[in-house]
Amino acid sequence: MAFRSIAAIGSLVFLLFVSSSQAQTLRVGMTTTDLPTTGGIPDNGSEGGRFAGYTMYDALVNWDFTKVDKSADLTPGLATEWKVDPADPQTWIFTIRQGVKFHDGSVLTADDIIWNFDRHLNDKAPNYDRAQAGSYRNYTSQVDKYWKIDDTHIALHTKVPYSVLPYMISRVFIVSPTQYRKIGNWLDFQANPSGTGPFKVEKINPHVSIDLVRNDDYWDKTRIPKLKKLILMPIPDANTRVAALRSGQVDWIEYPAPDSIPSLKAAGFQVVTKPYPHVWAWQYNTTEKSAFHDKRVRLALNYALDRDGMVELLGGTAKPSIGFYDKESKYFGKPSVIFNYDPEKAKALLKEAGYGPGGKKLDITVQLPTAGSGNMVPLPMGEVVQQNLRDVGVNLTYEVVDWGTMLSSLRQPPGAPNTPHRDGIAHGLPLGDPTNFYNEFTSMAFAPSGSNWSLYKNEKVDELSRKAFETFDPAERDRLIAEAHTIVVDDAAWLFVVHDLNPRALGKNVVGFVQAQSWYQDFTQLTVKD
């Protein structure tokens, strides 16, 4: 908790030196506990990708923010097109965009793309990033080999036919080999990074701010930023973020404290919300050493939750979650179990599983973050869950940690050496593409190779997911994912809590922001008035 306070205070001290009338400068208060890393493998979860990824870098495949009436999908990035080799469904061919310049002035080549994949996948390469390569297992886990075809084409070969590969590699940001060779190591590269994105780093103030400036030479002329400068600051405490916005020290905050929203609106601040793919949930430990190995216990906790009460706590900035996907999603399916608030049913299920009066006492330990990417306001939310479970006889103890520590925990599955016992991990995550389901619920994606920390395994889910991601027919893929999701809900694989509505608060001086239905957002089209 001391770390949270230091980060927040440090940000505000810095802000005192930034003129609130500085033209065309947008100052953003992030929810992260520290600055995301800037070397092309941003930490701090998907919020790191939002602010220290797509602002500074491009991937072969980017996100399209122009169609805001539906969930964002993919658009060409550093690849102008991609296709599956007709002779081999496991080989993808990417056409490399010509004439793109890195921030250091060097010109992007096909060799540079191969060099970047070496950074993550080739432990014999001189530029292999031993410290951070593990962070990208989720995004490159299906890539078996890769090679340069010619000066304008490269190939990625997958371990099995994998139709959603473009979604996975949308987070593989491309950095400048020329800049790396000049600097000589990845640690110092963080201080002087070079990508191809619409903003470039001007200065990094450790633990305080990242100062970005407009890249006037950006290859996509429609997305050369209208802003001159973008300043990113970690302010993990929601109330501190609100205070910074009210005092004019920042122009934009991620996730304002819910109880502040009415007064912010009354004072003329812009509060923007929009549904997008996201869930705040618990990943259950489903191994035999946890009570959640028993489906009845997993079901019981889902019935014990007062989700409407949670939405009320959040000031209407969320929707109840009864599955990984929202019930309006094409992936939701037709589960037979619908999780309503039913404490008596929860108690009956717990009694059937041997817990409660006349049986064992159910004591569980769950890791909870203090703040961070997609985590909303986790401490008050955690208190609501704790009270709901206490009402049905469950004693819940939280292991409260910062977001960076939790990300490390998620890479160490239950039972890993030197890892304390946890019955669950509570956190929020965006679900912007279909690979999220594969990574969270299949045994092929057990941590640390994927995101399935729970070690949840259902053979039918595995089979359906495998078929879904091997088919190149989008409609059939969606049908199969929905069928697999139906099983996950009926199996109560996780404790599903709420879906976030992506709230953010902007000053009156911020003009032209249109929120996309995505975790990621486009900062290139907005302006800030004097």
pLDDT tens digit sequence for 7-64:
444 444 444 444 444 559 999 999 998 999 999 999 988 899 999 999 999 999 999 9
Count other C-beta atoms under 10 Å from residue 313's C-beta.
19
Q: Residue 255 carries which side chain, given as an amino acid letter?
A: Y
Residues 6+ apart with CB under 8 A from 478: 330, 331, 434
Residues 230-256 pLDDT 10s = 999 999 999 999 999 999 999 999 999
- Residue 149 Cα distances to 58, 75, 98, 265, angstroms: 21, 22, 15, 55
Asked if residue 364 and residue 441 are part of one domain, the reply reads yes
Q: Which pLDDT belongs to residue 23?
A: 58
What are residue 212's DSSP bridge partners? 201, 230
Residue 120 lies in a domain: yes
Q: Residue 448 carries which side chain, given as an amino acid letter?
A: P
Whether the pLDDT of residue 426 is over 90: the answer is yes
- Looking at residue 478, which CATH number applies to its domain? 3.10.105.10
Q: Residue 144 carries which side chain, given as an amino acid letter?
A: D
Count of helices and strands (H, E) across the chain: 17, 21
Asked if residue 207 and residue 146 are part of one domain, the reply reads no
Asked if residue 360 and residue 242 are part of one domain, the reply reads no
- Omega of the bond prior to 448 within 30 degrees of 0, cis? yes
For CA atoms 240, 241, 242, 244, the dihedral sign is positive
Residue 170 lies in a domain: yes
Instruction: Fill in the DSSP letter of residue 49.
Output: H
Question: Is 140:168 a contact under the CB 8 Å cutoff?
Answer: yes
Question: Is 465:164 a contact under the CB 8 Å cutoff?
Answer: no
What are residue 254's DSSP bridge partners? 504
Q: At what angle do helices 459-470 and 474-490 cross, to 10 degrees?
A: 160
Residue 189 lies in a domain: no
Q: Which pLDDT belongs to residue 9?
A: 44
Asked if residue 209 and residue 140 are part of one domain, the reply reads no
When mean pLDDT is compared across 11-25, 287-301, 328-342, the lowest value belongs to 11-25
Only one residue has tokens 């939310």, namely 381
Q: Which pLDDT belongs to residue 487?
A: 98
Residue 14 lies in a domain: yes
Residues 493-505 pLDDT 10s = 999 999 999 999 9
Asked if residue 351 and residue 495 are part of one domain, the reply reads yes
Instruction: Fill in the DSSP letter of residue 173.
Output: -
Residue 363 lies in a domain: yes
What is the C-alpha separation between 218 and 56, in angstroms, rounded?
10
Whether the pLDDT of residue 134 is over 90: the answer is no
Q: Which pLDDT belongs to residue 159?
A: 94
Pairing mode, strands 527-528 and 510-511:
antiparallel
Only one residue has tokens 């008596």, namely 344
Residues 190-237 pLDDT 10s = 999 999 999 999 999 999 999 999 999 999 999 999 999 999 999 999
Mean pLDDT (whole number) for 502-530: 94
Mean pLDDT (whole number) for 153-169: 95
Q: Which pLDDT belongs to residue 276?
A: 87
Question: Is 100:78 a contact under the CB 8 Å cutoff?
Answer: yes
Question: Taking all residues of the chain, what is their mean pLDDT, rounded to a whole number?
Answer: 93
Task: Name the percent of the chain lying above pLDDT 70.
Answer: 96
Q: Which pLDDT belongs to residue 17?
A: 42
Element (H, E) at 149: strand 143-150
Q: Which pLDDT belongs to residue 93?
A: 98
Whether the pLDDT of residue 4 is over 80: the answer is no
Count other C-beta atoms under 10 Å from residue 380's C-beta.
15
Whether the pLDDT of residue 419 is over 50: the answer is yes
For CA atoms 303, 379, 410, 288, the dihedral sign is negative
Q: Which pLDDT belongs to residue 191?
A: 95
Asked if residue 459 and residue 481 are part of one domain, the reply reads yes
Q: Residue 529 carries which side chain, given as an amino acid letter?
A: K
Asked if residue 174 and residue 230 are part of one domain, the reply reads no
Residue 478 lies in a domain: yes
Asked if residue 494 and residue 420 are part of one domain, the reply reads yes
Question: Is 108:174 a contact under the CB 8 Å cutoff?
Answer: yes
When mean pLDDT is compared across 36-50, 131-145, 151-165, 347-361, the lowest value belongs to 131-145
Only one residue has tokens 């000053």, namely 507
**Long-range contacts from 17-21, C-beta under 8 angstroms, 24+ separation:** 18/231, 18/249, 20/248, 20/249, 21/530
Residue 152 belongs to domain spanning: 57-181
DSSP states of 262-312 as a string? HHHHHTT-EEE----SEEEEEEE--STTSGGGSHHHHHHHHHH--HHHHHH
For CA atoms 18, 22, 25, 29, the dihedral sign is positive
Count other C-beta atoms under 10 Å from residue 107's C-beta.
11
Residues 380-403 pLDDT 10s = 999 999 999 999 999 999 999 998
Dihedral, 45, 47, 51, 54 alpha carbons, nearest 10: 70
- Looking at residue 74, which CATH number applies to its domain? 3.90.76.10
E strand map for 248-322: 252-254, 270-272, 278-284, 318-320
Whether the pLDDT of residue 444 is over 60: the answer is yes
- Looking at residue 269, which CATH number applies to its domain? 3.40.190.10
What is the C-alpha separation between 456 and 230, in angstroms, rounded?
41
Using pLDDT thresholds of 50, 70 and 90, give the confidence band for residue 515: very high
Asked if residue 515 and residue 525 are part of one domain, the reply reads yes
Q: Which pLDDT belongs to residue 58?
A: 98
Last residue of a domain, one of 146, 181, 216: 181
Mean pLDDT (whole number) for 102-127: 97
Last residue of a domain, one of 181, 206, 234: 181
Instruction: Fill in the DSSP letter of residue 135.
Output: G
Asked if residue 445 and residue 310 are part of one domain, the reply reads yes
| Cα–Cα–Cα angle for 407, 274, 367, rounded to 5 degrees | 25
Burial of 239 (0-12, 13-18, 19+ CB in 10 A): middle
What is the C-alpha separation between 95 and 426, in angstroms, rounded?
40
CB-facing half-sphere around the CA of 158: CA atoms within 13 A: 23
Asked if residue 515 and residue 380 are part of one domain, the reply reads no
The CA R_g of the chain, rounded to the nearest whole Å, is: 23
| Count of structural domains, the chain | 3
Asked if residue 79 and residue 9 are part of one domain, the reply reads no
Using pLDDT thresholds of 50, 70 and 90, give the confidence band for residue 433: confident
What is the C-alpha separation between 509 and 530, in angstroms, rounded?
7
Residues 74-110 pLDDT 10s = 999 999 999 999 999 999 999 999 999 999 999 999 9
Residue 188 lies in a domain: no
What is the C-alpha separation between 131 and 185, in angstroms, rounded?
11
Residue 186 lies in a domain: no
- Token couple for 490: 């009926």
What is the C-alpha separation between 214 and 31, in angstroms, rounded?
23
Q: Which pLDDT belongs to residue 440?
A: 95
- Omega of the bond prior to 126 within 30 degrees of 0, cis? no
